[in-house]
Structure 1
Amino acid sequence: MPVFGSWHEMGIYDLPAVTDHVLNATGASQLHYLGFSMGTTVFWVMLSHRPHYAAKIRVMVALGPVAFVQHVQGPLRFVAPFVNLIERSMSLAGRHEMLSFGPVMDRLVSVFCHDEALTAAICQNMLFLVAGQKPSRLNKRYLPVLLAHTPAGTSVRTVSHYLQLVNSGSFSQYNYGKLPNLAQYGSFTPPEYKLQHVTVPVALFWSAADWLAAPQDVNRLETVLPNVVLSKQVKSSRFSHLDFVWASDAKDLVYRDVLKVLDDYH
């Protein structure tokens, strides 16, 4: 069957290759890993399939960690039941990429989304629609730059795989359907990722207002990972998923603690 990559392939091919390249280029024996959102997902996948890479990681810091997504909120919650229809429709249209912008959209963003435009508020709310909460912490002057790079496009399977997990409540490999699963995995259901292989020290940073890394799902992840050295909730009731990388006060709320973790494992 044709294979169109998602974060699964990023975890079993791309991330190990990047890890080896960094270690070879620096001559170091281990590295510190700092991941945000899908950057955490691919890390769980890598160690699930290649547990020997745990010896190459000194510590893993996870911002807005994503594995289980049963309790996501917002639009993803509502479209998840239609994941098969979405994927079939895109396939029939010959499209295997989504959320990609081109020069025309970039031009529209520069005109309508700069901080003095009357339509800037619409741009802000569209940006945070999926991730949650009104972007009160966003520096509006940076909005055109942010929107010029986000979203940057991804494969349909990257999104549909997450939507499958919203429906199943598990953290498992891609679900092709019963008979294709039997051919691919030797079982009617896709196997779950082996989070018990993530033996490296892990520090989790999460927020109560995060729609994508919901507190219930992060708590579940914490109980499964074998070596969680820190689980820290951001001290703000309105800190959203994207605030981990874009909030004007992220330095005080998150980054100082992140640097302390990295320093502890220096």
Structure 2
Amino acid sequence: MGVYDLPAVIDHVLEETGLEQLTYLGFSMGTTVFWVMLSERPEYADKVRVMAALGPVAFTQHVQGPLKVMAPFVNMIETSLNMLGRYEMLSFGRIMDQVTSVFCNEKAFTAAICHNLLFLIAGPNPDRLNKKYLPVLLAHTPAGTSVRTVTHYLQLVRSGAFGQYDFGRMSNLAHYGSFTPPHYDLSHVTVPVGLFWSSADWLAAPQDVARLQSLLPNVVLSLEVQDDDFSHLDFVWASDAKELVYTHVLAFLRGYH
């Protein structure tokens, strides 16, 4: 995604608009692929004027919840799924969309189960989510991804590093010329970066954000959300995200236009 997909998107936007630079705003994995892109293709720094990172994820050593529990078993998970011929996960399809529309309706007694499943992944904060939107949200979340995307994240949780995919010692030697995967070079992220983070974020933990900040060469803003209960998904779903986050993001971006 960082080496091929994101550069292709940027090139397409610039070609269609006739501009030389664009503004980049990423959330969660949308920040991860940005760090990867500039690490592996640093020439793209010239095409981005400024980057706003919401719930920024690079290092994942201090994550909480299911990812932390699953990380020690990452090799077993991938091997088992590959043996079953499954290379995609967390994709539910039309049938599950119909199921969630019924059982996750705010008037259904089962809505509480759907509600809690979401926050089991990214951190509990039930008061901020408008329950009537649950069927819509769960019809699109999760939307599916490759097994390797998930296992890559789990590898990073287990290793505490921010590096390329670990194929195993001998396969790494063939892919990278070394027994261990190389780390991404964050010194190439020369674009001005604004970090927007929360102390209650299970997936972008404050300790990991601080480590990321220390390695990025051009962090011009690091802003903690002023609410002790603001969790990872609140960046996109919270009813008060505008006041707590978006107004600050827009003010930050206006400084570069």
Give the number of equivalent residue pairs: 257
Distance 1:201 1:80 in 2: 32
Contact 2:199 2:230 in 1 (8 A): yes
- 2:162 is matched with 171
Distance 2:131 2:34 in 1: 32
Q: Please tell me whether residue 196 in structure 1 is matched to residue 187 in structure 2.
A: yes
Distance 2:39 2:8 in 1: 16
In structure 1, list runs of 5 or more residues that go unmatched: 1-9
- TM superposition score normalised by structure 2: 0.99
Contact 2:190 2:217 in 1 (8 A): yes
Spell out structure 1 runs of 4+ moving beyond 3 A: none
Distance 1:234 1:33 in 2: 20
Q: Please tell me whether residue 106 in structure 1 is matched to residue 97 in structure 2.
A: yes
**Any idea what the Cα deviations from partners look like across 1:81-122, whole Å, max 9, x if unmatched?**
000000000000000000001222111111111111111111
Distance 2:52 2:94 in 1: 35
User: What is the SS of the residue equivalent to 2:4?
Assistant: helix
- 1:27 is matched with 18
Distance 1:224 1:214 in 2: 16
- 1:210 is matched with 201
Q: Please tell me whether residue 185 in structure 1 is matched to residue 170 in structure 2.
A: no
Identity %: 72
Q: Please tell me whether residue 252 in structure 1 is matched to residue 248 in structure 2.
A: no
Distance 2:102 2:74 in 1: 34
C-alpha deviation, 1:127, in angstroms = 1.2
- 2:252 is matched with 261
| Equivalent AA in structure 1 for residue 10 of structure 2 | T
C-alpha deviation, 1:134, in angstroms = 3.0
| Equivalent AA in structure 1 for residue 93 of structure 2 | G
**Any idea what the Cα deviations from partners look like across 1:189-224, whole Å, max 9, x if unmatched?**
000001000000000000011000000000000000
| Equivalent AA in structure 1 for residue 87 of structure 2 | H
**Any idea what the Cα deviations from partners look like across 1:129-176, whole Å, max 9, x if unmatched?**
110113220111111111000001000000000000011110000001
Alpha-carbon RMSD across the aligned residues, in angstroms, is 0.6
Residue number among 43, 48, 53 corresponding to 2:39 in the alignment = 48
Distance 1:134 1:22 in 2: 36
Distance 2:126 2:67 in 1: 18
Q: Please tell me whether residue 161 in structure 1 is matched to residue 166 in structure 2.
A: no
Moved more, 133-142 or 234-243: 133-142
C-alpha deviation, 1:128, in angstroms = 1.6
- TM superposition score normalised by structure 1: 0.96
User: What is the SS of the residue equivalent to 1:67?
Assistant: coil
